[in-house]
Amino acid sequence: MTSILLIYTGGTIGMMEDHESGALIPFDFQHLADQVPELKRFDVSLSAEAFDEVVDSSDIKIDHWQRIARLIYRRYDEFDGFVILHGTDTMAYTASALSFMLPNIAKPVVITGSQLPIGMIRTDGKENLISSIQLATLKQQGRAVVQEVAIYFGSELYRGNRTYKYSTEDFEAFKSPNHPKLAAAGIHIFFDQNALYKPSGAFELKDRMDEHVAVLRIVPGLRPEMVKAILEIPDLRGLIIESFGSGNAMTDKWFLDLLREGVKKGLNIVNVTQCDRGFVEQGRYETSHELNKMGVIPGGDMTFEAAYTKLMHVLAYSNDREELARKMVEPLAGEMTSYSTLV
């Protein structure tokens, strides 16, 4: 019998309404199981582990990612697949982080949640949970169909590190703008075999993350003292800049001088676009030419969530700037399209 481990972290799917305040508060896994009696009808061996204190996804931290990754690694041989119940707000961050922490995983890790608590009549949580479990059980020629960290939401399965949450209202809350969906679940489940990830090495645990990373969003009217304040953060090792279009930024001398000084001091700067879809191509326009010259690392078509977690991950395992830059511009877990494929 196929065995699946459910990992309950918290999130809307397991919340209930506080009768005094009306606010949604985290509950426990037993409440969730009581609301989905269909789980007992699965021809699957289901086990469950929950965080000692379930958390709203807005409170997710690096140590939560490490806890999940270590749990999966520790119990990897016991189960055929893993389903993580998680809040939607930071689900794409968690999926991205886990994809780097669990390189070459050959079993499904399906992350899901809901927009409405599972106790509500119109909840989307039941379908998301039931389909996620089914997807985690599917095999082809004795091997798992899904061999990566994925997000299932709104009847579609996505590569986790290619997603972002785009809607607070829709049941189809996630999008994957630069990579096709892995599967669509209707009456039947249809997989895109070409979109599925194929691990190429030995599965291992690499759960270190470097927290010394900051974010700078480029906006019209950005002031020098704001940029300087970020670049002067003690022990800062990495910076994600969110640029315009295909990697463009302002060309003011003060701005370029500040970034150039940061790079000279050893700061690793990664450039991602504010656009949902497309590629960072530094040097394509004059407004990104200087970034290219000074050594800013282009982020390709990574989502912000993937770029942020990848930089923290790579920084934790590399002190060599050339090695770090090389890892940041090539896919580690299917999180980006390789620059080498660009025509």
Starting at the earlier edge strand, list the strands of the sheet with 3-8.
45-50, 3-8, 81-85, 109-112, 149-153, 156-159, 183-185, 189-191
What DSSP designation does 178 have?
A: T
CA angle 258, 261, 264 (to 5 degrees): 155
Q: What is the 3-state secondary structure (H, E, C) of 95-155?
A: HHHHHHHCCCCCCCEEEECCCCCCCCCCCCHHHHHHHHHHHHHCEECCEECCCCEEEEECC
Dihedral, CA atoms, 263, 268, 273, 278, nearest 10 degrees? 120
12 classed as catalytic: yes
| Torsion sign (Cα): 162, 91, 240, 217 | positive
User: Locate tokens 């798992």: which residue?
Assistant: 144
In the set 2, 9, 12, 337, the catalytic residue is: 12
Cα 14 from Cα 140, distance rounded (Å): 32
CB 44 within 8 A of CB 100: no
**In terms of C-beta density within 10 A (0-12 exposed, 13-18 middle, 19 or more buried), how is residue 43 classed?**
exposed
Active site residues: 12
